Chain A
Amino acid sequence: MITKKLIDKIEGEACVYFDIKDRVVDFATIAFPNFRGIQEILKGKNALDALVITPRVCGICGHAHLMATVRAIEDAYKNGGYEIVLNQKIQKIREFTLIMETIQNHLKWIYLTIMPELAQLNKSTKILTPLKSAFGSSIAARAIATFAGQWPHSSYMLPGGITCDPTNIDALKAKSYVDELTSFFEKESLGIGIEEFLAFESCKDFKNMDSDISFIEEELIKAGMNKKGFSHDRFIVLGNHSYTNPSKINQTRIYCADAMCVEDIDSYSPNEKTYAKNAVYSGSYYEAGSLARQMSLNVPIVKNMHRRYKDSAYSRVMARIFELAYLLKESNSILDDIDISEASFNAPQHINAITATGIGVVEAPRGPLVHKVSLEKGVIKEYKIITPTQFNIGSSTKSDPTPAQKSMIGVSKEDALFIFRTFDVCSVCTTH
Chain B
Amino acid sequence: MHSKQDKKPTLIWFQGLTCNGNTHSFFNLHNLENLLNKFEILYHPSLESTKNIDEITACIFTCDIFIFEGTYDPLMKRNDVLVSEILNYYAKDANYIIAAGTCASFGGMFKASAPERNSGLIFNEADHEGPIIKYKHKVINISGCPIHPEWLGYTLNMVLSKKELEVDKLHRPIELFSNLSHHGCTRNEYFEWKVDSDNFGEKEGCLYYKQGCRAPMTHASCNKILWNEVSSKTRVGTPCFGCTEADFPRQSLYSTKTNMSIPQDMPIGVPKRSYLTLAGIAKTFSIKRLEGKLIDYKKTH
Please give the number of chain B residues whose Cβ is less than 8 angstroms from any Cβ of chain A in the complex.
Answer: 62
B5-27 CB contacts (< 8 Å) to partner A? 17-25, 27
A142 within 8 A of B: yes
Task: Determine if A122 is an interface residue (Cβ-Cβ < 8 Å).
Answer: no
Contact A60 B295 (CB under 8 A): no
Chain-A contact segment, one of B126-134, B231-239, B282-290: B231-239
Residue of B nearest to A105 (CB): B24
Q: Which residues of B contact A173 (CB under 8 A)?
A: 230
Query: How far, in Å, is B218 (CB) from chain A's closest CB?
Result: 14
| Other-chain contact of B21, A33, A141, A152 (Cβ < 8 Å) | A152
Interface check B297, CB cutoff 8 A: yes
For A12, the closest partner residue in chain B by CB is B20
Chain A 5-43 against B: per-residue CB contact (8 Å), 1 yes, 0 no? 010110111000000000000000000011111000100
Chain B proximity mask over A131-142: 1 for CB below 8 Å, otherwise 0: 100110110011
Stretch at the interface among B157-165, B249-257, B262-270, B273-281: B249-257
Partner of A56, one of B32, B53, B145: B145
Q: Is B28 an interface residue (CB 8 A)?
A: yes
CB within 8 Å for A344 and B28 given contacts A48-B254, A135-B33, A152-B146: no
Task: Summarize A's interface: helix, strand, loop or mixed.
Answer: mixed
Question: Given A150-B231, A158-B254, does the pair A59, B76 have CB atoms closer than 8 Å?
Answer: no
Q: Cβ of B113 and Cβ of A161 under 8 Å apart?
A: no
CA of A47 to CA of B36 in the docked complex: distance in angstroms? 40
User: Do A149 and B232 touch (CB < 8 A)?
Assistant: yes
B241 contacts A by Cβ under 8 Å:
yes
Q: How large is the interface on A (under 10, 10 to 19, 20 to 34, 35 or more residues)?
A: 35 or more
Asked if A333 is at the interface (CB within 8 A of a chain B CB), the reply is no
Are the CB atoms of B110 and A156 closer together than 8 Å? no
Q: How far is the CB of A371 from chain B (nearest CB, A)?
A: 16
Task: Indicate whether A291 reaches chain B with its CB closer than 8 angstroms.
Answer: no
Extra inter-chain contacts (18) besides given A37-B114, A156-B233, A428-B18, CB under 8 Å: A9-B46, A35-B113, A46-B251, A49-B251, A58-B20, A59-B21, A59-B25, A134-B32, A145-B231, A149-B227, A150-B233, A151-B228, A152-B21, A152-B24, A153-B21, A156-B236, A163-B237, A428-B20
| B→A interface (CB under 8 Å) | 17-25, 27-30, 32-33, 36, 45-48, 53-54, 76-79, 109-110, 112-114, 145-146, 199-203, 222, 227-238, 241, 243, 249, 251-255, 295, 297, 299
